Structure 1
Amino acid sequence: MNSRVTDIEILRDFISKVNVVVTTMDILTDSTVDAKMLFSEEFSHLFVDEAHHSEAKTWKELIERFDKEKVFLFTATPYRNDGKTLQGKVIFNFSLRKAQEQRYYKQINYLPIREYNRKLADEKIAERAVQQLREDIANGYNHIIMARCKDKKRAVEVFKYYEKYEDLNPIMVYTNISGLEKKIESIKRGEHFIIVCVNMLGEGFDLPNLKIAAIHDERQSLPITLQFIGRFTRTSYEELGNASFITNIAYPPIHEELEELYARNADWNLILPRLNENATQKEIDFKNYLDRFRHLDRSEIPFQSIRPALSTVVYRNDTNEWNPSNWQTGITDIDSYEHQYSDNSDDTLVIILGKISNVDWGNFEVVKNLEWDIIVVFWDLRPNVNRIFINTSIKGLSKDKLIESIFNEKASKGKIGGMDVFRIFHDVKRLTLFNVGARKGIGQDITFQNYIGKAVQDGIKLLEQGTIIKNNIFGVGHKEGEKISLGCSVSGKTWSYLRGNLNELTSWCRDIGDKITDESIDPNTVLQNTLEIEKISTRPQVTPVMVDWNPEMYEYAENKFEIRIGGYTYDLSNSELNVLESDILQPLQFSFDTSEHKIAFEVLLGQEEIDGQKIPFYKIIKKTNIEAVVLYGNKMLTLEDFLQEFAPTIWFADGSQLFQNNYIREKTEADIIPLNIIITDNWVGVNLNYESQDVVPYVQNSIQYYFINKIRNDFDIIYDDDGKGEIADIVGIKDLPTHIEIHLFHLKYAQGGIVNNNIDNFYQVCGQAQKSLNWKYKFRKGKDFFDHLFKRKEKKLNGVSCSRFVKGNETDLENVLIAAKWEKETKFHIYIVQPSLSKANASHDILQLLGNTYHYLHTLGNIELIVYSSI
């Protein structure tokens, strides 16, 4: 039936004379209501091809007119881009693996390029595709390139890179292009070796020679694309070789779609291997790790998508043999699991179990849960190391029994618990504990007590006094510049809130095992590295060096918070908080500063009596008679009330900080700054009392102008960010092949214009250096760093303006932004430039202040501070 029949009697007569009707869904769905009713009454069965469309509104409405048992759905792609699940019960599944075994599919060559510059990416994809085409032709394969683009505009752009290959007769096709039918016919006749298209020439388009897919735009439905180019590799096409797939692996969406592809069907691991010449070392390591599993080629579960929570129990082991196939004898209720699967490498056993269980909210025969669990057993056998780790999602699993079944009956005796587990906190700095469980001595009324929230500090003090004994601890700190979470219990369990793939899990376990068994580590290190948090009612007797916005505000874009003063509107990109100088016996003061306004505030700390108890309080008081309001979301507060609700953090010269009434200190003082990271200069011709180069014409004897010329040849982009709301006085950016370098230079003039080693020259600049660490983390979360630079691209002073780009331009910065968005690695560096310091005669107080700053940047950001000084 190749057209719609409007006369119901003619249609009825037609159906009565045939046994099988072949038609299209467009014809059926476009029929009248009466005709659709007739179809559902007269047809005994409905067979629907390309059934991944069955959830579309018109298709679904027609299908639902038929009894469910009459409908059979067929599709090669049983998933949809909108995530909707296809209805019905799977009665036959012809797997990709079987298709490959029966030679319906051959392996697809994965040939990605890695290019962060989008303008260059199209050309490189085209070059790689044509290179593959010429290789295939030379090998006797009459292949054709299909270059896919997301829309007509992109197709026109991309076609420019193919049209130069005149001998391959490239052609471009898209909906409504002039002469489309003639172009399609010429394609079918094999007149073109390169086809640039928007869609894939239709699902029914059958051209086996389309064997090379060049994907120029992300989000191009990779599963469907790959099956399209792979489905023609059949026995009847022996003259054709393997399909090839080319895209830019630097685009994160491509990464995401590939991960989704592998997760949907593990068989894609066989058809589209992950490893390629552009693989990173991390990808190579993970591929090599997975290749060690014995039966991965038979697995229906994509091992690369397994991401267990990082947790483990550790055992010492004394045997050099194991029997991973005996694991079932170690699980008491193994018969309750309907699904049981395992695979192992030479040192890792992965067990996946599934069982049907009752739902919590009722007792039904037909409504059940299918619960899946995982067990990972890792055997760390190295010279002088023999340890077993077990990770599981099953609560109440007898780990000892499982270990004994795989190793021997003595293995469980090597379980590591007690105080040794607390060694995992070694080298974790600035540790904040959120949960402390402790046991009391024999004979006490309460043998166990859990300290959480505000009570944690009480628990820490009792632990230090020896009044109670550690049982379990969980906290968050910093290690190698990264924020981490760790917890452990004397029972032997260690855990983190992080998840990782199987390779990352085993690496994490190996590190945990090395720490726990290191006899040189004092288990009480956990207390030595904790931050002391004290509720105070009087200001600390230390000089403040910096005040900064509430950390929560850095979770949002700079323009999330809008500050209005009179007719002026500001956000975080052109305003800042600064410490105001005051005697350490006087209340703390800070100011909100813009180019036009300065509003002073005072921090009032004290005590108030509530229900007979003296409770510390904290209050922000505005000292300047200027009205300002803050708008965020659908809220509006006065600036004074906003700072009360979003309390700023104040840092002090000794490394301590104040947040509301919470005074936070490290227990050990940082070392003075290493002298080898202080670089000297003679500052010839520089007025040490003049910091900024201002605007064009620049102040050429300023510190900033001199220093920019000193570093000019070191960077692709040099940006003058001097001013309220700055990231740094100078931002240097270098886009290297493997990563992006971001260098932040904080400058400060010398009071009096001379080298005098006055510590007052350092408080503010040290605070600015610490504050700029926030940009490392904002950089990771999005494009805020670049938005800041683009937004402030024009520098203004006294009615004169100029570009802040001293070297490079907006296009250069845009290219770096693209590379950063595509997850190119970024490395941050922070500098203090203060010519008032004499390295040869530096005072201990200055070196200690710089040491505190160095320690802060290194601990929280793994950033090495470098200081420029005088000789």
Structure 2
Amino acid sequence: MAQSQGYFQEINFFPILEFDEEKGDISIATAAVEQLENDLKAGYNHRILVRTKDKRSADRLYNTIYHPHFSKYNPVLVHSDIPATDRTAAIRALRDGASRIVVCVDMFGEGIDIPSLKIAAVHDKYKSLPITLQFIGRFARSSEGLGAATVITNIANDKLNESLQELYAQDSDWNVLLHVLANREINKELSLQELAQGFDSALLHGMTIQQLRPKISMIAYSTNEKKWSPDAIYNVFDPDNCFITINNDSGIIVIVEKLDSNIDWTSFKGINNTNWHLHLIYWNPEIKMFFINSTNKSISDTIAEALFAQSIKINGENIFRCLYGIKRLMLGTIGLKSAIDGPIRFRMFAGIDIGNGIAESQKETSYKSNLFGVGYSGKGKVSIGCSYKGRIWSKWVESIDYWINWCNEIASRLQNEEINTSKIFEGALVPEIINERPSSVPYGIEWPIDLDLINDSSILISRGPNDYSIYELDIKLTTNSENGPIRFSVGNNIVSEEYELYISNEECEFKTIKANGLMLKRRKREYKLAEFFDEFPPRIKFVDQSMLEGNLLVRMTSTPPAFNLDRISTWDWSTVDIRKESQGMQHDKQSIQYHVIQSLIASDKYCVIFDDDDAGEIADIVSIVDAADRITIQFYHCKYAHGDNPGARVADLYEVCGQAEKSIKWCQEPPTIIDRLMKRESSRAQSGGTRFEIGNVRKLREIKNKMRIFPAKIEIFIVQPGIDSKAITDDMLRILSGTGSYLMDTYSIDLQIICS
């Protein structure tokens, strides 16, 4: 190791956190000069090297920041467009100490190799990781009396932060070499790096903790032991065939094991198969549990016995406690064992047979063997599987720190003695094949396979020579009746097609009833849209909270809780035509949307108010509040009234409730909200307009940077002035309770209603 042998010194990595990219450069420069002044006071004759991506950026930084603000240190500019005599004079001034700041593009190509250049102000990342390593390596070279080097950059910048993460993952040397000087917020961003620093990375022989991406799985054990014996792991694994590293402070052991095995088709000893196993052990003494994740399913008990004098594996019926609290659980498989008429038999249920599996599991002669399902935790989608033998798993592949947090969260359920596992299937969703359309009113429809979340051009709808991105189109119901045809359209104000779903004899078909030649392009394939829906049916939601995909119906097994009337607020709509929804490009002052926007502006608390109305919208209005340590994003779904005056029309709620439920998907990855808004603004700008009522693209970039550090809270509002708050019927409350329950179950969002 070059660092351990003294060739390199430790580097102080000084990250700053400036979310406004236009302020980031001055923040980096200010921090670099402060570091220079501190080093000079400490007796170190240091210089600053300002790193930027190109000559244009170098000129800008020199002329607008370093020369006007820090002329005390006589900054010099060096790049290939500067005359050779001036470059030579600048480098001489730098060597002599007449200048203490150099702004450059390529320090190597420009011949800048001055040992006292010990402060790097990195405004832009290098194009490749090897050059980044070479650059930082120059600063890390040891030289007596020079002191430690410092690298300063803005990790709120996506590209610079990606470069830093890539650097950490490249070589374990950098975990030792880069000493992070960070405040609380930045420590949160670099938590995985901090975890890695608790290990002796040399023992992984060049591999890093950040490079390990285990499948999320574990076997849990309880123990009352106050101490463990981590060194006993060497009695289980052969050190000659393993990389073993231990983080005693965090209670974690990582083993990477090499296993050679014979090949079936030859007895020649010189050829064999080489496999690698990963073993993770995590002990949390505070909850008296430890967890083992191993790609070798048979070794967990051996590891447990070596590390702890006493422990008990959690298995049997108690293992199914891990399913507790999962909302809208949709089981994919159920494995049962039974002892009817002789030996124990195993039966597996999947797909439309899940209902039979649940029924069988309730019989005294059956017991659960294993199962897997997906659902919601109130914080988003989850997947979970478990076996009575003790293993619990998810379909995710994640980092080690994610796995640790997941183990702790599952443990809280495993230890809950109040969970009754015999009732674990209550509320589970069961699919069934139907022969006719459901006798309920459809009120919402969504693209299949989450197409509406796509922000690039990988999915296109075309008509002739014209292509439309998926985010420029809407899919929406065109009929809302209890027994009539189920029809919907795809399109915008330029192109549109209408379709009908036919169901009979356990089969379904989508037919185009108003054709316009639309084609869908996906992964080098082209479909007529009706053919695409035959293969990937859209999801249709009904007022009884059942959901239909093709002819596969999932019914809710429980009644949603009553809607909280405190979440209904009334506004004054006396100046508004409640049958006019959108303000349009002309900002119609009588429209519902205009009235809402003006009310938000008057509150003076928003940094962004965005008119997203039109096909492909997230919501009619998206507003953002930028607080000190939290981002709040609000979706306002506006809908026109079906009458001239407020009343008790249930039809006023159908479409807008469907829109509110559809928008919940954006909670999966809040930064994609910002990406979508920027896409939408770019499209609007091409016609000479803007969607911003408050804010701009620069502010959106700042918000996106900040969302990487601070949590984003989503709030959803339905705006329907056609509802008379004093005349709401039971049917209307039934729809509101269904939508409210869906938002709460999935992402813990309280639906709010604004009406008359």
- Could you state the TM-score of these two structures normalised by the residue count of structure 2? 0.90
Distance 1:839 1:140 in 2: 73
Corresponding residue of 2:714? 828
CA displacement 1:393-424 (0-9 Å, x = unmatched): 32321x3333223222xx25x22211110010
The Cα RMSD (Å) is: 3.1
Instruction: Indicate if the aligned counterparts of 2:156 and 2:705 stay in contact, CA closer than 8 A.
Output: no
Q: Please, which of 695, 702, 727 is the counterpart of residue 808 of structure 1?
A: 695
SS at match of 1:328: helix
Instruction: Indicate if the aligned counterparts of 2:583 and 2:589 stay in contact, CA closer than 8 A.
Output: yes
SS at match of 1:460: helix
Distance 1:323 1:814 in 2: 49
Instruction: Indicate if the aligned counterparts of 1:350 and 1:374 stay in contact, CA closer than 8 A.
Output: no
Q: Please, which of 417, 428, 441 is the counterpart of residue 315 of structure 2?
A: 417
Q: Please, which of 701, 705, 709 is the counterpart of residue 594 of structure 2?
A: 705
Instruction: Indicate if the aligned counterparts of 2:336 and 2:348 stay in contact, CA closer than 8 A.
Output: yes
1:767 lines up with 2:676 in the alignment = no
Corresponding residue of 2:77? 172
1:97 lines up with 2:4 in the alignment = yes
CA-CA distance at 1:605 after TM superposition: 0.1
CA displacement 1:134-179 (0-9 Å, x = unmatched): 1111222111111111221221122231112222111111235312
Cα gap change, 1:578 to 1:468, in 2 (>3 Å): same
Residues 527-566 of structure 1: matches in 2 within 5 Å? Answer: 527-554=425-452, 556-557=454-455, 559-565=457-463
CA-CA distance at 1:339 after TM superposition: 3.3
Corresponding residue of 1:618? 508
AA aligned to 1:254 is L
Q: Please, which of 147, 156, 162 is the counterpart of residue 50 of structure 2?
A: 147
SS at match of 1:806: strand
CA-CA distance at 1:335 after TM superposition: 4.3
Instruction: Indicate if the aligned counterparts of 1:218 and 1:251 stay in contact, CA closer than 8 A.
Output: no
Distance 1:519 1:824 in 2: 35
CA-CA distance at 1:552 after TM superposition: 4.5
Cα gap change, 1:569 to 1:342, in 2 (>3 Å): closer
Corresponding residue of 1:387? 289
AA aligned to 1:171 is V
CA displacement 1:72-91 (0-9 Å, x = unmatched): xxxxxxxxxxxxxxxxxxxx
CA-CA distance at 1:182 after TM superposition: 4.0
1:316 lines up with 2:222 in the alignment = yes
CA-CA distance at 1:564 after TM superposition: 4.4
Distance 1:587 1:738 in 2: 49
Deviates more, 1:652-661 or 1:370-379: 370-379
CA-CA distance at 1:307 after TM superposition: 4.0
CA-CA distance at 1:685 after TM superposition: 2.6
Residues 251-270 of structure 1: matches in 2 within 5 Å? Answer: 251-270=157-176
Corresponding residue of 2:279? 375
SS at match of 2:5: helix
Instruction: Indicate if the aligned counterparts of 1:336 and 1:355 stay in contact, CA closer than 8 A.
Output: no
AA aligned to 1:804 is R
Q: Please, which of 83, 104, 108 is the counterpart of residue 201 of structure 1?
A: 108
Instruction: Indicate if the aligned counterparts of 1:671 and 1:848 stay in contact, CA closer than 8 A.
Output: no
Corresponding residue of 2:532? 642
CA-CA distance at 1:542 after TM superposition: 0.9
Distance 2:527 2:220 in 1: 53
1:685 lines up with 2:590 in the alignment = no
Instruction: Indicate if the aligned counterparts of 1:554 and 1:778 stay in contact, CA closer than 8 A.
Output: no
Instruction: Indicate if the aligned counterparts of 1:716 and 1:807 stay in contact, CA closer than 8 A.
Output: yes
Instruction: Indicate if the aligned counterparts of 2:380 and 2:668 stay in contact, CA closer than 8 A.
Output: no
AA aligned to 2:694 is K
Distance 1:291 1:859 in 2: 38
Distance 1:291 1:594 in 2: 53
CA-CA distance at 1:203 after TM superposition: 9.8
> Where does the alignment leave 5 or more consecutive residues of structure 2 unmatched?
none
CA-CA distance at 1:629 after TM superposition: 3.5
1:406 lines up with 2:322 in the alignment = no
Distance 2:107 2:60 in 1: 18
Cα gap change, 1:360 to 1:450, in 2 (>3 Å): farther
Cα gap change, 1:184 to 1:567, in 2 (>3 Å): closer
Alignment length, in residue pairs? Answer: 745
Instruction: Indicate if the aligned counterparts of 2:50 and 2:102 stay in contact, CA closer than 8 A.
Output: yes
Corresponding residue of 1:227? 137
Q: Please, which of 10, 13, 36 is the counterpart of residue 110 of structure 1?
A: 13
Corresponding residue of 2:32? 129
Instruction: Indicate if the aligned counterparts of 1:418 and 1:490 stay in contact, CA closer than 8 A.
Output: yes
SS at match of 2:279: strand
Identity of aligned residues (%): 30
Distance 1:313 1:561 in 2: 41
Instruction: Indicate if the aligned counterparts of 1:170 and 1:192 stay in contact, CA closer than 8 A.
Output: yes
CA-CA distance at 1:463 after TM superposition: 2.2
> Where does the alignment leave 5 or more consecutive residues of structure 1 unmatched?
1-93, 608-615
**Greater RCO structure (CA 8 Å; 6+ sep):** 2
Distance 2:690 2:27 in 1: 33
CA-CA distance at 1:568 after TM superposition: 6.6
Corresponding residue of 1:469? 367
Deviates more, 1:358-367 or 1:370-379: 358-367
Corresponding residue of 1:610? none
Distance 2:515 2:217 in 1: 56
Instruction: Indicate if the aligned counterparts of 2:203 and 2:243 stay in contact, CA closer than 8 A.
Output: no
SS at match of 2:721: strand
Corresponding residue of 1:857? 743
Distance 2:710 2:677 in 1: 15
CA-CA distance at 1:622 after TM superposition: 2.1
Distance 2:606 2:418 in 1: 45
Corresponding residue of 2:421? 523
CA-CA distance at 1:482 after TM superposition: 1.7
SS at match of 2:154: coil
Distance 1:499 1:454 in 2: 28
Corresponding residue of 2:67? 163
1:443 lines up with 2:317 in the alignment = no
CA-CA distance at 1:745 after TM superposition: 0.5
CA-CA distance at 1:361 after TM superposition: 7.5
CA-CA distance at 1:779 after TM superposition: 4.9
SS at match of 2:10: coil
